[in-house]
Chains A and B, each alone.
Chain A
Amino acid sequence: MPGVNVIVKGTSAGTTSDATGRYNLAVNDAGPVTLVFSFIGYATQEVDAGTRTTVDVSLAEDVRELSEVVVTALGIERSTKALSSSITTVSGENFTKARENNLGNSLQGRVAGVNVSKIASGPAGSSRVIIRGNKTLGGQGQPLYVVDGVPMDNGQGNSSLMGNNGQAGLWGGQDQGDALSSINPDDIESITVLKGANAAALYGSRGGNGVINIVTKRGKARQGIGVEFSSNYVAETVMKLDDLQQKYGAGVYQSGVATKPTTVQEAFNWGGSSWGTELDGSPTMGIDGVERPYSYAGDNWDRFYQTGSAWTNSLALTGGGEKQTFRFGVSDLRSTSIVPNSGYDRTNLSFSTNAKLGNKLTVDAKVIYSFEYAKNRPTVSDSPGNAIQAIWVRPPNINVDDLRGDPNKLGAIPAGVDPAILLVYGQGGSAKFAGQELLPAANNWGQNPWWAAYQHVNSDKKDRIITSGQLRYDFTSWLYATGRIGMDYYTRRTKGLTPEGVGYQLGGALNEGEDRVREINMDWMLGADKAFDKFNVNAFIGGNKMIRSAERIQANGNGFNVPFQPFINNANQRNFSYGYNSSQINSLFYSAEISYNNVLYLTTTGRQDWFSVLNPEFKNNVFYPSVGASFVFTDAFTNMPSFISFGKLRASWAQVGLANIGPYDVNATYSLNGNSHPSLGTAGTLVPHTMATFSSAGGNNGNVPNPQLIPAVSSEVEIGFDTRFFNNRLGLDFTYYSQKTEKDIVRATISRASGFGTTDINVGELENKGVEILLTGTPVQGDLTWDVSLNLAKNVNKVVSILPGVTELTLEEPRTRNVFIKHIVGQPFGTITGRVQQRDPNGNLIFQSDGRAVASTTYVPIGNGLPKWTGGLNNSFNYKGINLSFLIDFKFGGDIFSGSNNRLTQWGLHQQSLIGRDGETPLHVTGVYNSGTSAAPEYTAIDTDLTPDQARNYWNNVGGESTAISDMFLYDASFIKLRQLTLGYSFPRSMLAKTPFQSLSISFVGRNLAILFKDIDNVDPESNYSANAGAQGLEYFGFPTTRSYGFNLNVTF
């Protein structure tokens, strides 16, 4: 049994048992000693060790404290036996061995029913965590994170001021990260996932999407001060998944014939097109006026991407006695990304203390501080500022090292370039000059990768404090009261520089911003825990007040007076913007658990929330009830077969509400434009005029406030069982749930002809049904122990209704602009819709007479970005201090629209674009074309090989905006990955006897080592560029997939 405290009675000497249950303890006293073994939920045992060198002890469950205890809603510890819904706990070590910067990503594959998507946005990016499917058509659908009872803003709100720091979208951008990266994995004792509505009901509306409870480590009573040190170093490399054609170089079809560049102008114009002639080694002109062989230039990924690294050092001090304990932790992470000039650093400090003042009063206080520095978050999706796309687009004969330009300012035009060439770079405009961007092609929005990496700035620094203080007063042995104040506060200082001289904005622009977000929670509780004969009652009432405010101040500058000096006070146009909002929820709640003989448990909870964001004239409050029962049948019946070690049935029902709207979203107000506009006054002077428009629609795409919004209601029924067999060597935990959301609040895309782009409406109905299976086993036990656990979840989601007369809601659109994500009645959440090739009444594919495919006029469902099955398989082998464990995780049944493959095909880089070129397999089309009119079609058979020019046109058209055959770029997103592997060795105590170390372990760790199965070429099936709910299943030039591996060292003194 791991984690058992072992102390030599009356001394400071102590240790805890390791993962295999072993422990080593040096005893200085020559005399007989008594060892004290303690573990939560088990009766403490004192054993007279005498002079034995091996003391084996088996701990008995403490009937008074019950068996295993988990932290449930509001930080209440409850026995697992009493739980009437599925709750999974993941222990802290799972986050510290092989690390992810973002905690969410570490949960991937670990918990049945928890679907984690790592966003393809770099080392400081977000993760998208969805528990038991998307429960709301609007909102982000992510769970509430709670750190030691303090809710934490995860940066996933609906509006920017709600804390959504930003995701890449149609026009590109950066994933600005979420809150999960702020948490230091070394501070985590455990993470408990409250999956069902029943478990989360006590959190009210904020728990509607499930709750992830993070419990941090606390000090332990011990003599002296315990020191833990760990060091973790990993290297990160690109996992190359691309397989592009290397046969044809830069060029275009001219007069129907593939042509390679012979002049600087042509090289520049065709720098992003791989429709040239076959590479033959003959000289071809480059954009710099240098002739080079027209042959494959080698791997540009190797030249551009570097080996990233992450080095984490953590130190923790713990100590204390019977009256007071403390823990102090410090951790430092330094990392560099595979993209040059990009990285992520984090420093964490935490301090917690717990004191018992007298017999009745307990004080708990904690401060967690983090500082994060994200240096140059990579731009993904659309091309401006996107180095990743800039690497992808280069024709096979281009060597990106030739685009480095000025060695002192990478990506810039070096001094001394021929004026004639500078004129070419000017693209018909004025000549460019040294120091401006060295564009690799005549496309202002397609960047030089070096320039994008070294000259653009997208950095931010975040200071975050999560702190709480709690008092508990025990009136009697069974009656207590608690009061708690917690705060999550962060400031985020952002800097974005569009460098002067960039193709699309020669003057450059600078943006300096600061966000301040504060959330304060105050709660109180009055509770009782009393036994009456065989009955036990554990109940409390309480209240909570949550106040949240967010503020954003930004200064923007455009153009710089002194060239290439990008600071605000040098900007020739400066303006500022200011945003503020605040919201509040008041709540009252109760919980009551009645148990009989530790066999049957009945629980009921209730919570009423009052929202500031809703209109009191309609409905601004909602009550969330829950009931649940659990029955431990192995304790109830004494005549069970002996191979059944434990068995429990559980059932529950709960309702939770969801109020996914931001402050002020229900009120129609006006805002004043930041700038007045002048007219020409009488004497030729400029007279300013004030302007205003709707607050919720400052631009041309505003949101219609809906005063009648009421909270959505999500109800869920869950049944399940937890059984263990053969002395706990085999376990099966099964859950079935059926969840339904009604009156959902949705931000719906509406016709722009309404004057607005979106509105929030209470709509329809959405349901999720699913099963979760957790199978655990210990096939081998002894010197060699093999533990295996398999978790598996299936979720079936269906949009039941939207609005009367409305069957579709439109969400995101990727840059290829030929698919839309929609919610469609009768289909699952987030259907990918696109155009497919038209067919005639006989089912023949319709082409143009020149062979181009004819796309359907409307968008039809072609796939769905959400997997149907998710899960993970974890194996752990222990043999004499050696531990080997690995996690394989998988998702099946989802789709992904690959904008990258779409573009790569159009650019002539995708392997399939070879089909039809001169000398290659011809592109054959079979079907019909319309030889009549569009009003009176007549279909004539077409069955022919296309000419190379027609084939190129065909490939260009199938990826076009209005002509796309979108389903050609839709792929099955299923995968199996070797997510994590660790191989560790714990040094035996005997080897450490003469050292200051109490324990020492070292391990090899690896994350994302291999993709064991996938069904999409060139990119990772997990390459979503955005964590937004409406953008799942969209891929477009995201951050390349990486694998990381390194070493982990753990020492305690």
Chain B
Amino acid sequence: MNTMKVINKIILLTLGLMVPMAACDTDELHDRNNNPQALQTAPMEFLFTAAQLGSAAGGSAGDNRYIDWRTNIGLCGYAIQHLATATGGISPGDKYFDNVESYNAPWEFIYGDQLKNIAEVLYQTEADAPQASKDVLRNAARILRVFNFHRLTDYYGNIPYSDALGGIRDLNFLPTYDEQQTIYTDLLKELDEATAALRPLVSTNRDDQAFRTADLFFVGDIDKWKKFGYSLMLRLAMRVSNVDAAMANTYVTKAVAGGVFTSNLDNVWVTMSIGPSEWTNQNGISRAFASGDGGQPTTLSATLINELKGPLTTNISDDDPRLMIFSEGFNGNVDPLAQKGLPNGLDQGMVNALLGQPDVNVRNNFSQLNQKFIQDDDPYQLMNHAEVEFLLAEAAVRGIGGVAAGTAQAHYEAGVKSAMQMYTRFDATLAVDDAKVAAYLAARPFPGAAADQLKAIGTQMWLSKFLNWWEAWADWRRTQYPALTPTNYPGNVTGGQIPRKLRYPNQEIAVNATNYEAGATLPNEPVTKVWWDVK
């Protein structure tokens, strides 16, 4: 049985070999937990770019449609009466219904996408941190952080701010809330410091060049970053102007001194493209409207159309040139005089009654949003020059921040011009020449009385934020311009008032209950007003 003996020896040897194999705390074991598909460290520019994209509709989180679909369009676009719907769509803003997703989306995406990434950029670039040399990146990230936090607090009121975003680095899972006033105080301080600290890029500085390569907004143009910082400062300062005159005054002064946007060339855009991923690269607003994606209806509100058409309903001489830019007509009807918006707060039966016909096809009877605004690769605008001019005009009228009273009209007219002329990036055909601007300003001149001036400015600001509806909603809440007639559809949750804030997400109420109850803006009703909303 020689063979058997040989086999037996092999067996024994094999068994013997297995003993060391199974012991125990080996390098093989440790190395196995290094994810071969991930980076142990990353250039923070990569996260900064993601945050920039995230600031335009959460694209870096893999769903570029959700927040626009649910909140920007579904709630804000209807609530401020740029859009209207009788059937279909996610439209809690039209009839003031609850929509949990519309309430949740900004909370989930702004914290969970861009602010999370910005927090990491700031963590890795602070003094003594591995990427501390990237000061330009850090200061730009601070500005971007302000941009996102003010939007978030405008939606909800008090929110976790100073204690927020510590999930990964501080293992702080249940942050406390800050008062909106505290938040604004710090946001303005941050803008002041970060914008002032921005320095020109140096061509031999690798960090600077990496920032240039990463920057989606301005390709490393620091002058534009500074203008963005100061323009944002102007916006925030004016937002608190009804509740903290001193803060408003201080920061309007600083913003003007620092230098704000001066033309449409300064506007903040994020370029979009068709591919390779529709969930990352396409425009979230466009995708939210795309009929192929279960999207929103594109019917424009009567409030918007009537404003664009002006008081002369049988004459186009006082029409806003944007009428046939925003509207593509309906059912092939592109006659400006025939344009007709849908009143908000109606259901199909009420539309039928309104027109006295059965089975009204809304799309064929009311002006529709121009498809040229909602192509998948249309750019996404974050902030524009027109707003700056309108804010300056308002500051001039109200005597804030040393903006000369006599400049109100000039600022107003510059704002109107820029507002009308900023849409060519969507489509070259959406151009408004200077003559048309002038004709409009002649037909609807800047009024004389201060109250009328504020109304005109507010109305123009409202028009200038077409597509940027969350901002339009914030402006309206602050200024109450234009005067919007609320709807009162049966079963609405606001008692027939336009909502003033978002409810907090149910998950936040359930999970972070103690801090929520101690610090949130309550009662948790859509009619509760945030701190700066006093009108």
Bitwise, A691-712 to B at CB < 8 A (1) or not (0) is 1111101111110111000000
Q: Does B257 contact A (CB under 8 A)?
A: no
Specify which of B63, B112, B270 lies most central, judged by the most chain A CB atoms within 10 Å of its CB. Answer: B112
Shortest CB-to-CB span from B458 to chain A, Å, is 30
Q: How far is the CA of A990 from the CA of B59 in the complex (A)?
A: 77
Q: Does A241 contact B (CB under 8 A)?
A: no
The tally of CB-CB contacts under 8 A between chains A and B is 378
Known interface pairs A442-B88, A858-B513. Does A753 touch B98 (Cβ–Cβ under 8 Å)?
no
Shortest CB-to-CB span from A503 to chain B, Å, is 6
Which one of B19, B39, B112 lies within 8 Å of A752 (CB-CB)?
A: B112
Q: Does A759 contact B (CB under 8 A)?
A: yes
Q: How far is the CA of A587 from the CA of B61 in the complex (A)?
A: 40
On whether the beta carbons of A669 and B98 are closer than 8 Å, the reply is no
Q: How far is the CA of A706 from the CA of B281 in the complex (A)?
A: 32
Q: Does A961 contact B (CB under 8 A)?
A: yes
On whether the beta carbons of A753 and B277 are closer than 8 Å, the reply is no
Known interface pairs A507-B292, A700-B113, A704-B171. Does A690 touch B49 (Cβ–Cβ under 8 Å)?
yes
Bitwise, B1-45 to A at CB < 8 A (1) or not (0) is 100100110011011001101111110111011111111111100
- On chain B, the residues within 8 Å of A883 by CB distance are none
Q: How far is the CA of A506 from the CA of B215 in the complex (A)?
A: 35
Stretch at the interface among A36-44, A258-266, A837-845: A258-266
On whether the beta carbons of B108 and A752 are closer than 8 Å, the reply is yes
Stretch at the interface among A57-65, A78-86, A141-149, A609-617: A609-617
Q: Does B259 contact A (CB under 8 A)?
A: no
On whether the beta carbons of B36 and A580 are closer than 8 Å, the reply is yes
Specify which of B33, B34, B509 lies most central, judged by the most chain A CB atoms within 10 Å of its CB. Answer: B33
Which one of A506, A579, A668, A749 lies within 8 Å of B292 (CB-CB)?
A: A506
- Closest residue of B by beta carbon distance from A586: B24
Q: How far is the CA of A849 from the CA of B341 in the complex (A)?
A: 35
Bitwise, A515-531 to B at CB < 8 A (1) or not (0) is 00000001110100000
On whether the beta carbons of A573 and B277 are closer than 8 Å, the reply is yes
- On chain A, the residues within 8 Å of B40 by CB distance are 669-670
Chain A binding surface SS class: mixed
Q: How far is the CA of A587 from the CA of B523 in the complex (A)?
A: 56
Stretch at the interface among A345-353, A673-681, A1028-1036: A673-681
Known interface pairs A424-B359, A700-B113. Does A483 touch B15 (Cβ–Cβ under 8 Å)?
yes
Known interface pairs A751-B173, A961-B100. Does A680 touch B271 (Cβ–Cβ under 8 Å)?
yes
On whether the beta carbons of B37 and A677 are closer than 8 Å, the reply is no
Shortest CB-to-CB span from A67 to chain B, Å, is 32
On whether the beta carbons of A751 and B512 are closer than 8 Å, the reply is yes
Shortest CB-to-CB span from B473 to chain A, Å, is 20
**Using a CB-CB cutoff of 8 Å, which residues 734-772 of chain A contact chain B?**
748-757, 759
- On chain B, the residues within 8 Å of A682 by CB distance are 219
On whether the beta carbons of B280 and A675 are closer than 8 Å, the reply is yes
Q: How far is the CA of A504 from the CA of B293 in the complex (A)?
A: 5
Q: How far is the CA of A749 from the CA of B512 in the complex (A)?
A: 10
On whether the beta carbons of B108 and A701 are closer than 8 Å, the reply is yes
- Closest residue of A by beta carbon distance from B50: A691
Which one of A427, A694, A949 lies within 8 Å of B168 (CB-CB)?
A: A694
**Using a CB-CB cutoff of 8 Å, which residues 657-671 of chain A contact chain B?**
663-664, 666-671
- Closest residue of A by beta carbon distance from B177: A753
- On chain A, the residues within 8 Å of B508 by CB distance are 751-753
- On chain B, the residues within 8 Å of A288 by CB distance are none
- On chain B, the residues within 8 Å of A354 by CB distance are none
**Using a CB-CB cutoff of 8 Å, which residues 544-568 of chain A contact chain B?**
544-545, 547, 558-559
Stretch at the interface among A88-96, A215-223, A632-640, A806-814: A806-814
- On chain B, the residues within 8 Å of A511 by CB distance are none
On whether the beta carbons of A621 and B25 are closer than 8 Å, the reply is yes
How many residues on A have C-beta within 8 angstroms of the other chain's C-beta atoms? 133
Specify which of A259, A582, A692, A748 lies most central, judged by the most chain B CB atoms within 10 Å of its CB. Answer: A692
Q: Does A505 contact B (CB under 8 A)?
A: yes
On whether the beta carbons of A505 and B11 are closer than 8 Å, the reply is no
Stretch at the interface among A356-364, A592-600, A894-902: A356-364
Q: How far is the CA of A204 from the CA of B216 in the complex (A)?
A: 51
Q: Does B343 contact A (CB under 8 A)?
A: no
Q: How far is the CA of A329 from the CA of B270 in the complex (A)?
A: 63
On whether the beta carbons of B111 and A752 are closer than 8 Å, the reply is yes
Which one of B108, B281, B359 lies within 8 Å of A675 (CB-CB)?
A: B281
Which one of A543, A579, A679, A833 lies within 8 Å of B271 (CB-CB)?
A: A679
Q: Does A963 contact B (CB under 8 A)?
A: yes
On whether the beta carbons of B50 and A673 are closer than 8 Å, the reply is yes
Shortest CB-to-CB span from A930 to chain B, Å, is 12
Q: Does A536 contact B (CB under 8 A)?
A: no
Shortest CB-to-CB span from A260 to chain B, Å, is 12
- Closest residue of A by beta carbon distance from B99: A961
Which one of B28, B85, B379, B512 lies within 8 Å of A753 (CB-CB)?
A: B512
On whether the beta carbons of A858 and B46 are closer than 8 Å, the reply is no
Which one of B42, B85, B100, B294 lies within 8 Å of A692 (CB-CB)?
A: B42
On whether the beta carbons of B359 and A265 are closer than 8 Å, the reply is yes
Q: Does A822 contact B (CB under 8 A)?
A: yes
On whether the beta carbons of B112 and A701 are closer than 8 Å, the reply is yes
- Closest residue of A by beta carbon distance from B509: A858
- On chain A, the residues within 8 Å of B23 by CB distance are 543, 586, 588
- On chain A, the residues within 8 Å of B167 by CB distance are 704, 750, 754-756, 759
Q: Does B237 contact A (CB under 8 A)?
A: no
On whether the beta carbons of A755 and B363 are closer than 8 Å, the reply is no
- On chain A, the residues within 8 Å of B273 by CB distance are 677-678, 686
Specify which of B38, B61, B293, B360 lies most central, judged by the most chain A CB atoms within 10 Å of its CB. Answer: B38
On whether the beta carbons of A808 and B513 are closer than 8 Å, the reply is yes
On whether the beta carbons of B171 and A759 are closer than 8 Å, the reply is yes
- On chain A, the residues within 8 Å of B321 by CB distance are none
Q: Does A578 contact B (CB under 8 A)?
A: yes
- Closest residue of A by beta carbon distance from B514: A805
**Using a CB-CB cutoff of 8 Å, which residues 91-114 of chain B contact chain A?**
98-100, 107-109, 111-113
Known interface pairs A429-B291, A681-B219. Does A750 touch B511 (Cβ–Cβ under 8 Å)?
yes
On whether the beta carbons of A427 and B297 are closer than 8 Å, the reply is yes
On whether the beta carbons of A753 and B164 are closer than 8 Å, the reply is yes
Bitwise, B159-171 to A at CB < 8 A (1) or not (0) is 1100011111001
Q: How far is the CA of A810 from the CA of B28 in the complex (A)?
A: 36
Bitwise, A376-408 to B at CB < 8 A (1) or not (0) is 000000000000000000000000000000000
Shortest CB-to-CB span from B282 to chain A, Å, is 9
Q: Does A1041 contact B (CB under 8 A)?
A: no
Shortest CB-to-CB span from A412 to chain B, Å, is 16
Q: Does B47 contact A (CB under 8 A)?
A: yes
On whether the beta carbons of B174 and A817 are closer than 8 Å, the reply is no
- On chain A, the residues within 8 Å of B19 by CB distance are 524, 543
- Closest residue of B by beta carbon distance from A803: B173
Which one of B11, B21, B29, B510 lies within 8 Å of A612 (CB-CB)?
A: B29
Bitwise, A195-209 to B at CB < 8 A (1) or not (0) is 000000000000000
Q: Does A926 contact B (CB under 8 A)?
A: no
- On chain B, the residues within 8 Å of A294 by CB distance are none
Q: A263-B359, A526-B15 are in contact. List 17 more A-B contacts (CB 8 A).
A: A428-B87, A524-B22, A542-B22, A543-B23, A583-B33, A610-B25, A612-B30, A667-B33, A669-B39, A691-B60, A692-B50, A751-B175, A752-B505, A755-B119, A759-B167, A759-B171, A961-B98
22 interchain pairs, CB-CB under 8 A: A427-B88, A428-B297, A429-B363, A504-B293, A524-B15, A544-B22, A558-B278, A580-B36, A583-B33, A610-B29, A611-B29, A664-B34, A667-B35, A678-B273, A679-B219, A682-B219, A686-B273, A693-B60, A699-B63, A699-B112, A704-B168, A953-B491
Q: Give the 7 A-B CB pairs with smallest separation, nearest first.
A: A543-B22, A700-B112, A506-B292, A504-B294, A754-B167, A755-B116, A692-B46
Residues of B within 8 A of A (CB): 1, 4, 7-8, 11-12, 14-15, 18-19, 21-26, 28-30, 32-43, 46-47, 49-50, 53, 58-63, 85-88, 98-100, 107-109, 111-113, 115-117, 119-120, 159-160, 164-168, 171-175, 213-217, 219, 269-278, 280-281, 291-295, 297-299, 347-349, 358-364, 379, 490-491, 493, 503, 505-513, 515, 523-525
